[in-house]
Amino acid sequence: MSTRAYGAHAATQPLQALSIVRREPGPRDVQIDIAYCGVCHSDLHTVRSEWPGTRYPCVPGHEIVGRVSAAGAAVDRFRLGDIVGVGCMVDSCRRCDACGDGLQQYCVNGFVGTYNGRTPDAPGHTLGGYSQRIVVDESFVLAIRHPVEQLASVAPLLCAGITTYSPLRHWNVRPGQKVGIVGIGGLGHMGIKLAHAMGAHTVAFTTSEAKRDDARRLGADEVVVVKNTAQMRAQGGSFDFILDTVAASHDLDAFTRLLKRDATLCLVGMPDRPHPTPAIAPLIMGRRTIAGSLIGGIAETQEMLDFCADKGIVCDIELIAAAEIDGAYERMLRGDVRYRFVIDTSTMGAA
């Protein structure tokens, strides 16, 4: 059936209203009427072809929340009316070691992205959550336990939440540790909230002096403005873990030098241009590591949603109409987002 969406026909074109077709739900499919969809910086990277391989028309959006409006006969985890979410993946091979370990994001045969992934459905690639309806296999649908009034603020947990939660868990962030979060955008503001909730002494690193007070409110114990070299030097060699969420190419040495011996700088930001090659000496001298991390598996995404529901954690959002997406992208590029734009899909008109 056809549904309203927002997407682009080319990298250089603004997003526009589109009509797209969703498959009829199969036996294991859940049909979701999307209420809200978050705007991730990856949406911008993809729709503007900053990363290679974008297929058009491109309908971004992988921070999806809504209500189940139909379910196939074999669906047993969801019922009509349930509040659910969909994140960055809608399928994977389900046979490889990574899938067997519940790490579908590292599927060796390639997971199917919620947008720009290969699918037998027309037009041959997946179309994402900037739309009013989506049909997804129930294995990739998440249950949401937050109060329904918070739904718009829950949407960005589906990418920004899990992408920061997963590395914080993997590197076993815990009370007594000092943890840095670099970049206070969609991912970074969740990194601050989650590191704080896990009991770590949390330090926010920002290029924006104006975010200092917000960072404290979000849960940071300290805030460092990265261009202040004296403040940066004062933090040298003191971190157990640093999570870098910055969406642009930048100097990593400033952060590797802040790590303790054996500690890790984990990158989750994926800029369109590479970072300058990091210096090796700070790595060798302190047996330090630079690592990366990709979103999180389905089971861990459910764990994160439940953790956030239990602790009352949601995202700080600015709700926008679909027609405002391009303006939101421009603000995101300036680092001017407090702290995630979320699209109200009812502004796309009647389905």
CA distance 74 to 28: 5
**Choices 6-14, 142-150, 170-178, 183-191 (CB under 6 A): range interacting with ligand NAP:** 183-191
Distance from C-alpha of 29 to C-alpha of 138, rounded to nearest angstrom: 6
> Which partner from the list ligand NAP, Zn ion, none does 132 bind, CB cut-off 5 to 8 Å by kind?
none
Rounded to 5°, angle at Cα 132 from 130 and 135: 95
Give 7's strand partners: 16
Determine the interface stretch with Zn ion among 105-113, 190-198, 220-228, 270-278 (rule: CB under 5 A): 105-113
Q: Write out the H or E segment, with its range, that includes residue 7.
A: strand 2-7
The reply on whether position 218 binds ligand NAP by CB under 6 A is: no
**Helical (H) or strand (E) element with 85:** strand 83-86
> Residue 185 interacts with ligand NAP (CB under 6 A)?
yes
116 makes contact with Zn ion (CB under 5 A): no
Residue 99: contacted member of Zn ion, ligand NAP, none (CB under 5 to 8 Å, by partner type): Zn ion
Residue type, 264: T
Picked from ligand NAP, Zn ion, none, the partner binding residue 283 (CB below 5 to 8 A depending on kind) is none
- Residue nearest ligand NAP by beta-carbon distance: 185
Cβ-based nearer residue to ligand NAP, 30 or 159: 159
Among 112, 152, 181, 184, binds ligand NAP (CB under 6 A): 184
Distance between CA atoms of 204 and 187, rounded to whole angstroms? 12
List 31, 92, 126, 293, residue binding Zn ion (CB under 5 A): 92
Is the sign of the CA dihedral 333, 338, 342, 346 positive or negative? negative
3-state secondary structure 40-77: CHHHHHHHCCCCCCCCCCECCCCCEEEEEEEECCCCCC
Q: Which residues bind Zn ion (CB under 5 A)?
A: 40, 42, 92-93, 96, 99, 107, 109, 159
Q: Note the residues at the interface with ligand NAP (CB under 6 A).
A: 40-42, 45, 159-160, 163, 183-188, 206-208, 211, 245-248, 268-271, 293-295, 332, 335, 337
